[in-house]
Every structure is written in structure tokens, then in C-alpha cells.
């Protein structure tokens, strides 16, 4: 039986000044504007809190943390983990596509240089994700920049980490990532096409991420990082104008993904099926007026899980919500 609290832990706190841990890697703020504020290990997201008694998310560890920062860069590391954050000014970088490519190249170079070459999870937040620029949706410009950096650095599809990309209410482009010295196992959802195999109608470059990443380190409890999950089956949005059915499909996708990963995990662990429990869940809500119904159904599905509801634009204009989070596998 593997039950171990070593490693990293995520929790939601009602006050960003509260430590939550003696060893925080970072504190991610749910705020009204994304600005470079890397001092004091605060990461400003520009994603306002809609519901929940938490103003920040704290990613902490059980061991000592070294950290540092400069104008638009923050880093924190332990023996096992590296967390990096970059803020980018699109005007200074020549637009979102170039800013994304520049930051991802910096990020990928930094993880190699520091000796944590394997990306586990990446979070991407920027303004006006569904708006058109030069005839192309801004999310698709972002995908081109990310793809170009991965290609330039030799990152293959099977190495793509779990990720999310959301539109915030304004400010800088923020990209932050968790990396390790050993690779995570990346998974796809049996109900969904791999994002990196989407047809060209979804953009010149497909999104470069996995549906989930399972991290197993010696003496650390297995931890599953689930990407932004929404009402998509295959590669097609389901029920574009129906909130109730979008919530239903989103929850079905999560259930399918978690069941599949637990089944695959059991095959490599003497057939023991793990319990999969949510450590934290984050729900991104496009229209605040939809919050009561979204909250009702999420609470019904995950009655004991810590959940925050954030205002955000989803990467497809016809999606009304997206859910991601961290789950623990316990045998």
C-alpha cells in the first residue's frame, strides 16, 4: 500500500498573505489583472474569483525551496521539482504569437539548464483569447508560437505536458510550468482526439498538450495533473448553446479520463486499482450568470473536493466552461 504525503501539495487559501506551508513553490493569485509581480512568490493571473473562499492557490512542498526572480521571471526549485513563471508584454514582443514562442523557448532552455528537463504541467493565461487578429483567432496565434518553440527544441508529441490556456481579463501574458528530473507519463482521453492531432480547421498548428500527466517519483505519492477539460468529444464541441449538456459532457470526459488512467496504472501495479481523489479542482466560467447551475452540478459530482470558480474565456468561443485540477492516486 502506497500512502505518502511527500512531494508537492496544492491548496486554496482565503488570504494570499497566509503561508499555507513552510515551503511554498508559488502562490497563484485570483485577481482582476495579470501583472508581473514575481517578488514574494506571487503569480498574478488576471482570473477573478467568482465563487469560493479562496483568493489564491498555493503550490507547496515538503522540503526546502530555493527561489529567485527578475523583472518578468520567477523560479523556485527543490531537489525534485522546478517551477518557472514568465510574464510577457505582447506589444514589446511583437504580438502574442512571437511572445509565446519567445517565452516557451526561454522556458525550455531554462529547464534543461537547471537539470529538470521534463515538463509535467503548464498553465497559460492571456487576454482576449477568442478575438481575431490578422484574420486568426488569438488562441490559434498562441498555438503557433508554442508549437514553434517545441519544434525548435525537439519536443516530440509524446513529451507534450498537460496544460490549459484561458483568456484573462487583461494584462500580461503569463506562462508558468512545473518540471521534474524524471518524465511524467502523459495520457490521452479515450473519448477525445489527441489535441495535437486536431484537423487543420482548428488552426494552422494543433494545440500541443496532453490530456493529463501522471507524476510518480520515488517515495512520493502518485499525482495526476489534469488538463483543461470541456464539452468536446473526438475533436468536436458538443452542445454549443446548451449549458446543462456541456456540463454533463465535461463531467463525463473527466470520469472517462480518470477511469482510464486508473485502469492503466493498475496494470503496472499488480492489478491494484487505485482510489483517485481530487486534491483541488478549478472551474473556468465564461458567463458569470451560469455559475449557479455549474456550481450545483460540480458540487454534486465532487461534493468533498476543494473547488474554485474563476471568470475566464475558454479557448473555444462555443465552450461555456472548462475544468482542470490535481488528483491523487492512492492504493
Give the range of the structural domain holding residue 263, as residue numbers without chain letter: 8-330
Per DSSP bridges, beta strands 42-44 and 24-29 are parallel
The residue-averaged pLDDT of 257-281 equals 94
- Of 274, 122, 120, 282, nearest to 186 (Cα)? 120
232 within a domain of the structure (yes/no): yes
Out of 16, 90, 137, 322, pick the active-site residue. Answer: 322
Q: CA quadruple 309, 315, 320, 326: dihedral positive or negative?
A: negative
Annotation marks residue 270 as catalytic: no
Parallel, antiparallel or unpaired: strands 236-237 and 232-233: antiparallel
pTM: 0.95
* pLDDT, tens digit, 9 for 90 and up, residues 283-317: 999 999 999 999 999 999 999 999 999 999 999 99
pLDDT at 170 over 60: yes
Q: What is the pLDDT of residue 5?
A: 46
| 3 located within any domain | no
Residue 81 lies in a domain: yes
Residue 2 lies in a domain: no
Q: For residue 52, what pLDDT is reported?
A: 73
| 3-state DSSP percent of the chain in helix, strand and coil, to 5 | 25, 35, 35
Confidence of residue 174 (pLDDT cuts 50, 70, 90): very high
Task: Determine, yes or no, domain membership for 1.
Answer: no
C-alpha cell at 71: 523583472
- Domain of 215, CATH number, reads 3.30.1330.40
Residue at 72 is within a domain:
yes
Residue pLDDT, tens place only, 104-158: 999 999 999 999 999 999 999 999 999 999 999 999 999 999 999 999 999 999 9
Total structural domains within the chain: 1
List pLDDT tens digits, range 24-51.
Answer: 999 999 999 999 875 667 899 999 999 8
Helix axes 96-114, 138-152, angle to 10 degrees: 30
Q: What is the pLDDT of residues 58-109, one digit of tens each?
A: 999 989 999 999 889 999 999 999 999 999 999 999 999 999 999 999 999 9
Q: What is the pLDDT of residues 215-224, one digit of tens each?
A: 999 878 899 9
Amino acid at each position: 500500500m502506497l500512502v505518502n504525503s511527500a512531494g508537492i501539495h496544492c491548496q486554496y487559501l482565503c488570504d494570499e498573505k497566509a503561508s499555507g506551508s513552510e515551503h511554498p513553490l508559488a502562490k497563484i493569485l485570483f485577481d482582476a489583472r495579470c501583472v508581473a509581480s514575481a517578488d514574494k512568490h506571487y503569480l498574478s493571473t488576471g482570473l477573478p474569483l467568482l465563487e469560493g473562499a479562496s483568493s489564491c492557490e498555493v503550490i507547496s512542498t515538503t522540503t526546502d525551496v530555493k527561489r529567485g526572480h527578475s523583472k518578468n521571471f520567477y523560479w523556485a526549485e527543490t531537489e525534485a521539482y522546478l517551477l518557472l513563471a514568465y510574464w510577457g508584454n505582447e506589444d514589446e514582443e511583437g504580438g502574442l504569437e512571437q511572445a509565446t514562442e519567445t517565452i516557451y523557448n526561454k522556458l525550455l532552455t531554462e529547464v534543461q539548464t537547471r537539470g529538470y528537463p521534463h515538463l509535467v504541467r503548464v498553465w497559460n493565461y492571456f487576454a482576449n483569447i477568442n478575438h481575431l487578429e490578422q484574420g486568426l483567432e488569438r488562441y490559434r496565434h498562441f498555438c503557433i508560437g508554442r508549437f514553434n518553440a517545441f519544434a525548435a527544441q525537439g519536443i516530440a508529441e509524446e513529451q507534450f505536458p498537460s496544460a490549459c490556456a484561458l483568456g484573462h481579463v487583461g494584462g500580461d501574458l503569463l506562462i508558468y510550468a512545473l518540471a521534474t528530473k524524471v518524465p511524467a507519463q502523459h495520457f490521452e482521453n479515450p473519448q477525445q482526439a489527441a489535441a495535437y492531432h486536431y484537423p487543420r480547421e482548428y488552426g494552422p498548428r494543433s494545440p500541443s498538450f496532453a490530456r493529463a500527466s501522471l507524476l510518480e517519483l520515488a517515495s512520493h505519492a502518485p499525482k495526476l495533473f489534469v488538463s483543461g477539460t470541456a464539452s468536446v468529444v473526438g475533436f468536436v464541441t458538443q452542445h454549443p448553446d446548451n449549458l446543462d449538456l456541456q456540463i454533463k459532457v465535461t463531467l463525463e470526459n473527466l470520469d472517462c479520463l480518470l477511469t482510464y488512467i486508473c485502469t492503466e496504472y493498475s496494470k503496472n501495479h499488480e492489478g491494484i486499482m487505485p482510489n483517485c481523489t481530487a486534491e483541488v479542482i478549478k472551474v473556468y466560467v465564461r458567463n458569470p450568470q451560469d455559475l449557479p447551475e455549474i456550481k450545483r452540478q460540480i458540487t454534486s459530482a465532487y461534493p468533498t473536493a476543494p473547488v474554485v470558480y474563476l471568470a475566464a474565456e475558454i479557448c473555444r468561443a462555443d465552450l461555456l466552461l472548462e475544468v482542470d485540477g490535481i488528483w491523487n492516486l492512492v492504493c
